[in-house]
Amino acid sequence: MTPQPGSPGDVLALISAGSATTRSDLVRLTGLARSTISQRVDALIESGLIEEIESGESTGGRPPRQLRLHTEVHAFAGVDLGATHCRVALMDMSGEVLAECEDPVQVVDGPETVLAHVDQRLDLLLGQAGRPRSALRAIGIGVPGPVEFATGRPNNPPIMPGWNEYPIPEYFAGCEVLVDNDVNAMALGEHRNAFPGTRHLLFVKVGTGIGCGIVAEGRLHRGAQGSAGDIGHIRVSGHEDAGCRCGNSACLEAVAGGAALARRLTDLGVPAESGADVVALVQGGNTQALRLVREAGRLIGEVLASLVNFFNPEVIVIGGVLSRVHEHLLAGVRETVYRRSLPLATHHLSIVPSRTGINAAALGAGSLAIEHYLSPDNINRIVNA
């Protein structure tokens, strides 16, 4: 149900955005009576969501009292689960990171083992931040595979055997859990922390596979079932002999992903097992690796050129392991995108490497949790309860 204008959730949204810092601000912005605003503010204070403090500034008479989020009594977690790593960031209600950690894990060990590790790390970080487990309000988790966002269940993730349809949110008791594809989490983390004023953004992860997170009008676009942005399985002409893990051939990730480049280098007599190995070879000056990365950039650019014409983003951000050699990868991407896209669509387009780097998914997952918790509908439920 859409909240009425001036509901407690709407009032908190104004305070959270920094648009209102006093009761007078809220009266002016909402048009509601001062008595109504006082009721809303008092209810939010009673629920522990905001606090009212002396500003310390006065031009004569009583100093105005300032409203702010009560960040000290709430905690949120952003979890980045990769094929071989687990990164956890503990955040307060404003999005500030309180504590963080990263550990090697093997996602193929299965959900029970991996999620038990996450649970232990949450307790560790809460202890470091001096907050009890009861302070943890919501957890956001990014996983390396397709997810049905409404249920938080992975859907046939190719690199997560044993996770299909596993009810991840049900593992954690006492708080809400939101699960999304890792590239969506990366897109949200990059947008909120590096490009908050950008309305239309594409985040392209180039790692073992290739995926794309879409931010439209400042919000994540997931599509009807949560599979929007799966550009790694768009067909690339001229590569019909490249088989893909999805069962088709000539998919973009089967010819330009990190695993595909590693296989091609190995066939050329340059041993490589992963995208990280490809990066190391490029950084070491291997000309064959450099050539393949530049070629991969051009192939990715072919797909992105169509997306630029269709979606008209302001910014394309390149992340993932291969972005560590972005000067070579982006050269190929830019070459093709600017040549194949319409001039109007590229007039103000920026194609840049990720600014949040390895922290993108954990920050984005944390933002997912915080924004869900602070949504007007959820705040109204909390206050009414």
pLDDT score, position 157: 85
pLDDT at 10 over 90: yes
Phi, psi (deg, nearest 5) at residue 152:
75, 25
**Cα–Cα distance for residue pair 61/353, rounded to 1 Å:** 52
pLDDT digits (tens, 9 = 90+) for 202-223: 999 998 889 999 999 999 999 9
**Cα–Cα distance for residue pair 283/216, rounded to 1 Å:** 35
Q: What is the pTM of this model?
A: 0.92
Q: What's the longest Cα–Cα distance across the chain?
A: 80
pLDDT score, position 1: 39
Q: Are strands 136-143 and 176-181 parallel, antiparallel or unpaired?
A: parallel
SS (H, E, C) the chain: CCCCCCCHHHHHHHHHCCCCCCHHHHHHHHCCCHHHHHHHHHHHHHCCCEEEEECCCCCCCCCCEEEEECHHHCEEEEEEECCCEEEEEEECCCCCEEEEEEEECCHHHCHHHHHHHHHHHHHHHHHHHCCCHHHEEEEEEEECCCEECCCCEECCCCCCCCCCCCCHHHHCCCCEEEEEEHHHHHHHHHHHHHCCCCCEEEEEEECCCEEEEEEECCEECCCCCCCCCCHHHCECCCCCCCECCCCCECEHHHHHCHHHHHHHHHHCCCCCCCHHHHHHHHHCCCHHHHHHHHHHHHHHHHHHHHHHHHHCCCEEEEECHHHHHHHHHHHHHHHHHHHHCCHHHHCCCEEEECCCHHHHHHHHHHHHHHHHHCCHHHHHHHHHC
pLDDT score, position 172: 94
pLDDT at 8 over 50: yes
Among 83-87, 194-198, 234-238, 248-252, the range of highest mean pLDDT? 194-198
Compare 374 and 240 and report the one with higher pLDDT: 374
pLDDT score, position 158: 82
pLDDT score, position 2: 41
pLDDT score, position 136: 97
| Percent of the chain surpassing pLDDT 90 | 85
pLDDT at 6 over 90: no
pLDDT score, position 5: 64
pLDDT score, position 59: 56
What does the mean pLDDT of the chain come to? 93
pLDDT at 60 over 80: no
Mean pLDDT across 299-311:
96
pLDDT score, position 127: 97
**Alpha-carbon torsion angle 231, 315, 276, 210, nearest 10:** 0
pLDDT digits (tens, 9 = 90+) for 318-377: 999 999 999 999 999 999 999 999 999 999 999 999 999 999 999 999 999 999 999 999
pLDDT digits (tens, 9 = 90+) for 88-137: 999 999 999 999 999 999 999 999 999 999 999 999 999 999 999 999 99
Compare 87 and 157 and report the one with higher pLDDT: 87
pLDDT digits (tens, 9 = 90+) for 265-282: 999 999 999 999 999 999
